[in-house]
Chain A
Amino acid sequence: MAGLKIDWLADANQPNSNVDWPAWMQAKKESALETLSHLPGPHRKLELWRYSDASRLQKSELSVTEKTDQELPDAADAVVITLSDAGIDLGESLPSWLTIQPIQELPENQWLDMDLSGALAKELVVQSLNQGLFTHGVVVNVTADAPKDATVVLRYQVNEPNQWTYLRNAINLAADAEVIIDEQFISGRINVVNHYHVADNARLTRHQLNVLESGQQHVSLQHFTLAEKSFVQSQNRHESGDLQHHIHWVDFTAENAEYRSGSVNKAGDNSHIADIVVVNHAFKNNVSDVTHRSLADDSAQIFNNAKAVVAKGADGSEIIQDLKNILLSKDAKIASKPELEVYADEVVAAHGSTIGTLDDEILFFLRSRGIGLAQAKAILMVSFEQEAIIC
């Protein structure tokens, strides 16, 4: 079977094709493509693609509903970085606590290879393709001098709706730094890989807003490394679109750090949304707390997966996986899977997953106060989502 590269390279948007890549990065890209060309493309038999129709990735023409009057999310007082066909737009001059460079200036020792030979390589091919095909991106460095509420917005706004655009960013928080990073999907057919490096005692608050128009697609890998006593809270909203496939990959690299995430997944029509979180507890005394709330309507499909792997010796790890789901129609499908793989002796873990429908009793209560059925349902959905709103 032909590897991925052959089919997809033809479809890749290469707006930045005359970049001078450093030799080592060029070599990484070529080697990734070479390895991937021998791997099969994504298909339904793969765990992470069972509920996402991978053939949709290859549709070259998307029937995207045009956003008429596009309102950009509010970003007052924030540094906005727009990644578009035209390259990178940094807006105004940068504050002293922030430096931004194009991705080709990433120091080689900060590069994180995606493992293309391991057991998961096949599952991760779509995200891994980014390694061979990324055309631009930024390295964001935040120092410890960042003021309270310092905010950086990464906005993905590509005009080409049919070909895939591959973006790659590295976001580095220095020791003791504290920052809010907002990622906003605006337009395009985007495959993005971000590496968040959170140094000792640093605190990252991250918001990911992926509200897609019908027909749009978006694939991402968010990779986090958490150093000693660092803290990450990550809020994700994935709504609608033709296909969304998101992986959050968390590596603790020392002790006493905490990763918290809340995801709201909301799919209607024929949307496919996959929201996958993998947390590797390789060291002692780290906490991970993952909450998903998902709602599927019409003939939409949602896949929720929260996985924690606790290595031998990683005692004192604390893991919470809380996945709740609501089916709003008979044809909608949700698969929800909390997973624990524990090799350590002393671990505190709580996990649960439920799939239900909207609470009839509350629905009746709201209606008995005069609120119409549609609005009552909307209120119940907001109520349900609230439990996954963490920051």
Chain B
Amino acid sequence: MLEIKDIYAKAGDKEILKNLNLSVKPGEVHAIMGPNGSGKSTMGNLLAGMPHVTATSGSVTYQGKDLLQMEPEDRAAEGVFLAFQYPVEIPGVNNMYFLRTAYNAQRKHRGEENLDSASFLRMVKEKIKQLHMSDDLLKRPVNVGFSGGEKKRNEVFQMAVLEPNLAIMDETDSGLDIDALRVVADGVNQLRSPDRSFVIITHYQRLLDYIEPDFVHVLVDGQIVKSGTKKLALELEEQGYGWLED
């Protein structure tokens, strides 16, 4: 599914990722933990194609293709999805309209017909019910006036509608109450399938009580310094990152 090999990358002018390696197979869930500023979001942004994040060496292969050569919109249409750590607000653009535009743009890229608005509405209502979210979020402009938790839920909702193959979730659990945390976990668990993979960036092992990861990695100063199972997350929770840094 995803093969990150010897990646060095800059955010702006600053070298952030330093020899990053990660291999994700179909159906796997990988959790990425690590101290603030270690490069977790930079990794997610690199995978999604953020313009100011550039790889200086190394390669990223996604479903056999050179991911770094692709435009962000093409990556999305091929199934890459990034749930943003800080979702942006788009005044004047209705959430539902935005999502239908995105959905149909992805279908078009794959040579599929547009879904008409009635069928789209039906599908969306179904998803929103599954996620136990209130549907008045749909009628509002994208993220405008949303609470922190609502913004995060909106990311999960977009993921549920777009059904990506590879979802990268950047601290989608931060700032959520227990109920919202369940919604996020449900969103992931409902999508979990043998051909879909997740990279979940988090600071808290409690999310991993709801979403059982196959692997846990620790990213420090731009590279993965330790990998293990869920047990590693518990150790980190108890001991912090200090013991890994030297």
Contact = CB atoms under 8 A, between A and B. Distances in A.
Given A362-B88, A364-B72, A375-B101, A370 B77 contact: yes
A372 B109 CA distance: 10
A368 B105 contact: no
A383 interface: yes
Given A365-B84, A368-B76, A370-B73, A382 B106 contact: no
B92 interface: yes
A40 to B, nearest CB: 43
Contacts of A361: 88
Interface in B18-75: 48-52, 71-73, 75
A372 B102 CA distance: 9
Contacts of A365: 84, 87-88, 90
Nearest to B109: A370
B91 A367 contact: no
Contacts of A376: 73
Given A371-B101, A373-B73, A379-B101, A386 B92 contact: yes
B76 A367 contact: yes
A255 interface: no
A361 B109 CA distance: 23
Interface string A80-117: 00000000000000000000000000000000000000
B91 A386 contact: yes
A373 B88 CA distance: 17
A389 B141 CA distance: 15
A364 B105 contact: no
A interface bracket (residues with beta carbon within 8 Å of B): 20 to 34
A318 interface: no
B223 interface: no
A360 interface: yes
B210 interface: no
A315 interface: no
A10 to B, nearest CB: 47
A67 interface: no
Contacts of B102: 366, 369-371
Nearest to A369: B102
B82 interface: yes
A82 to B, nearest CB: 33
A385 B90 CA distance: 12
Contact of A379 (B88, B93, B103): B93
Interface in A171-221: none
Interface in A235-291: none
Interface string B156-167: 001000100000
Q: Which of B84, B102, B103, B106 has the most CB of A within 10 A?
A: B102
A374 B50 CA distance: 17
Nearest to B89: A362
A387 interface: yes
B90 A387 contact: no
Contacts of A367: 49, 71-73, 76
B42 to A, nearest CB: 14
Contacts of B88: 359, 361-362, 365
Nearest to B101: A371
Nearest to A380: B90
B140 to A, nearest CB: 13
B93 A371 contact: no
A365 B93 CA distance: 13
Given A375-B101, A382-B93, A370 B84 contact: no
B152 to A, nearest CB: 14
Interface in A7-59: none
A369 B92 contact: no
Q: Which of B52, B93, B99 has the most CB of A within 10 A?
A: B93
Contacts of A370: 73, 76-77, 102-103, 105-106, 109, 162
A387 B105 contact: no
A23 B75 CA distance: 74
B185 to A, nearest CB: 22
A383 B105 contact: no
Q: Which of A359, A370, A376 has the most CB of B within 10 A?
A: A370
Given A373-B73, A379-B98, A368 B48 contact: yes
Contacts of A373: 71, 73
A357 to B, nearest CB: 13
A384 B93 CA distance: 9
A387 B92 CA distance: 8
Contacts of B99: 369
19 contacts: A364-B50, A365-B90, A366-B90, A366-B102, A367-B71, A367-B73, A367-B76, A368-B49, A368-B73, A369-B102, A369-B162, A371-B105, A372-B73, A375-B101, A382-B93, A383-B90, A383-B91, A383-B92, A386-B92
Given A364-B51, A367-B49, A375-B105, 8 more contacts: A365-B84, A365-B87, A368-B81, A369-B102, A369-B105, A370-B109, A380-B90, A386-B91
Interface of B: 48-52, 71-73, 75-77, 81-82, 84, 87-88, 90-93, 98-99, 101-103, 105-106, 109, 158, 162
Interface of A: 359-362, 364-373, 375-376, 379-380, 382-387, 389
